[in-house]
Amino acid sequence: MISDKAKEIIKYHEATKHHFERYARSLGYMDWSNQPNPFRTYKNTPLLKLPLLKTDPPASHTGLYERQKNAPQPFEIETIAGFLELSLGLSAWKAAGSSRWSLRINPSSGNLHPTEAHLILPALDEQPGGIYHYNALVHALERRADLPADLWQSLVSHFGNHGFLLVLTSIFWRESWKYGERAFRYCNHDAGHALACLSFAANLFGWQCVFLNELSDEELEAILGFDQVHFRKLEEEHPDCLCFIFPSGPVDIPRGLPADIISDLANLTFKGEADILSQKCVDWEIIYHTARLAKKPPTGKTRIELERRKWLTDMPGPLSAADIIRQRRSAVAFDSSGFFNKNKFLSILDKTLPRKNMAPFDVELTEPLTHLLLFVHNVADLAPGLYFFLRRNADFNEIKALCRSDFQWAPEEKDFPLYRLAEGNYRQQAMMVSCHQDIAGSSAFSVGMIAKFKKIITAEPYRYRHLFWETGMIGQVLYLEAEAHGVRGTGIGCFFDDAVHEILGLSDNRYQSLYHFTIGQSIEDPRLTTYPPYNHLKNSF
Ligand SMILES: Cc1cc2nc3c(=O)[nH]c(=O)nc-3n(C[C@H](O)[C@H](O)[C@H](O)COP(=O)(O)O)c2cc1C
């Protein structure tokens, strides 16, 4: 039996599909005068300016994922600032003519950045404990509430470990301003990207980031004191997830918080006014309706058991982990003749497999629910065509039975879940199904992320959001791996959903394509000038 909640969520999904003859509902033009500010400020809060890293953590490419090489750093303002700089900070400013815009370490659909972060920190250096909002523009923490030392002590006793807490939230309006009703999907992709960014950056400091999956969204709102904040209507922040960040090690971290700690946090006095982001907001009602239905209730203890696996190929790139993170950018055009080495291609795919004790999937969001449909255009020693990368072997028979019967399902590598479905030139099709965007067809390969859908939402409607988070996390791995291997990637949120399903032969919603990606030899736009991320703080921009 499918609940009304699940039915309504699936209705949202159907209503926000792009079709060849009709895009999902949006304004249809850019209302520049109402463009939301991508940086939120909590006005009238004490500002704790954070230092920028003088030296990046030394981790190598594989140190992004592996923990053993990254010695745990102490929790200090400097290290937490470094963690924020390398997860959610600015990565650059771009300029073209008289326009300037900032880019961030975490990518975002349309560069609109719906994701915000709040931290619950202990007393550090000279600073008392508190609940803070991170402002990436000025790389500073806005102190929204004071945290009594004994309350922090209760948190330490509960976790049996030192560390700190971080909550991600989303402001839907920032995305719906441009993308209308489909924006709820993009906010969730972005949350997934941000979650992976947290996990990678934490790892560079020898810390681990774990998703506290027992808490409800209402509890997160309470912890953040949102009932004490007057948000302008439609500019509210909607909580996504609470993470605990602690020194990596074989410890069993609780995934919830005791009720008394939640109520003590909720009863703190919160200061600060959330600033106004736009002159006028548009109410894309279906987003708020779906968000209410997809709110997470409190749930029981869940542990996600991930497999231990060796890397398929040992192909570390020459860049350090921090360089990879800092130089990540979305490609805007590709050189279609740019050929790509097969081992690198396999190594990129391999990194998307979840592994025990490895970033980023050991945040333990979910067991793998998403597979990769690959449009291979130009990978040396691999016939161009359609391939399938199975991230969970148990789904093989089900997916195979749902797909076109003439697919080959020929294993491409020994002990590696890559299957050739059909040979041929799929450049045109890849481009066509990605809203006619060249980047999907001119790259070395592009990807459709095919997630187990109806069963997950029917069982637990709130996991509709988690499916998008998982795809965002995979997208972040693809972005970083592309950089590590000297190529470049781009997330693709705009695609014709059912046209993708048709290529595979999927005729129902047991699986759905939720996000696309493309990787290749990037062609840079010579009209753009790049500036360093934080020169504006020195007034020398
Ligand atoms: C969820 C998501 C969807 C995206 N969809 C598209 C897309 O359809 N087409 C495109 O050219 N870029 C797309 N992008 C790339 C963004 O436009 C890009 O991340 C943003 O402009 C910031 O630039 P940066 O990634 O270089 O920091 C997407 C990015 C994300 C995270």
With a 6 Å cutoff on the Cβ, whether 111 touches ligand 1 is yes
- Could you count the other beta carbons within 10 Å of the beta carbon of residue 30? 10
Residue 489 CA to residue 348 CA, distance in Å, equals 11
Q: How far apart are CA 390 and CA 152, in angstroms?
A: 43
Please return the burial class of 261, using the count of CB atoms within 10 Å of its CB with bins 0-12, 13-18 and 19+.
Answer: middle
What single-letter amino acid sits at 378?
A: N
* pLDDT confidence band for 540 (50 / 70 / 90): very low
Whether this model's pTM surpasses 0.75: yes
Cα of 175 from ligand 1 centre, angstroms: 12
Q: Is the CB of 109 under 6 A from ligand 1?
A: yes
Cβ contacts of 33 within 8 Å, gap of 6 or more: 279
Answer yes or no: are the C-beta atoms of 234 and 281 closer than 8 Å. yes
CATH of domain 321-520: 3.40.109.10
Tens of pLDDT, residue by residue over 276-302, are 999 999 999 999 999 999 999 999 988
Query: pLDDT digit string (tens) for 479-515?
Result: 999 999 999 999 999 999 999 999 999 999 999 999 9
Q: How far is the CA of 381 from the centre of ligand 1 (A)?
A: 30
Q: How far is 116 from 118, CA to CA, in rounded Å? A: 7
Say how many Å lie between the CA of residue 37 and the centre of ligand 1. 18
What CATH code is assigned to 4-42+112-180+196-293?
3.40.109
Pocket probe for ligand 1: among 490, 518, 523, 530, the residue whose CB has the most ligand atoms within 8 Å is 490
Distance between CA atoms of 146 and 271, rounded to whole angstroms? Answer: 9
Q: Is the CB of 182 under 6 A from ligand 1?
A: no
How does pLDDT run across 11-58, given as a tens digit for each residue? 999 999 999 999 999 999 999 999 999 999 999 999 999 999 999 999
For the Cβ of 469 lying below 6 angstroms from any atom of ligand 1, the answer is: no
How far lies 300's CA from each of 149, 212, 215, 216, in Å? 29, 11, 9, 10
Domain-wise residue ranges, the chain: 4-42+112-180+196-293, 321-520
pLDDT tens for 420-450 read 999 999 999 999 999 999 999 999 999 999 9
Question: Would you state the structure tokens that stand for residue 284, as one six-digit string?
Answer: 């894309």
* Residue 158: both structure tokens together: 């509960």
> How far apart (Å, rounded) are the C-alpha atoms in residues 65 and 359?
5
Does 237 sit in the ligand 1 pocket, CB within 6 Å?
A: no
No. of H helices and E strands in the chain?
Answer: 15, 19
Which of 142, 155, 150, 290 has the alpha carbon at shortest distance from 223?
155
Decide whether any atom of ligand 1 lies within 6 Å of the 106 Cβ: no
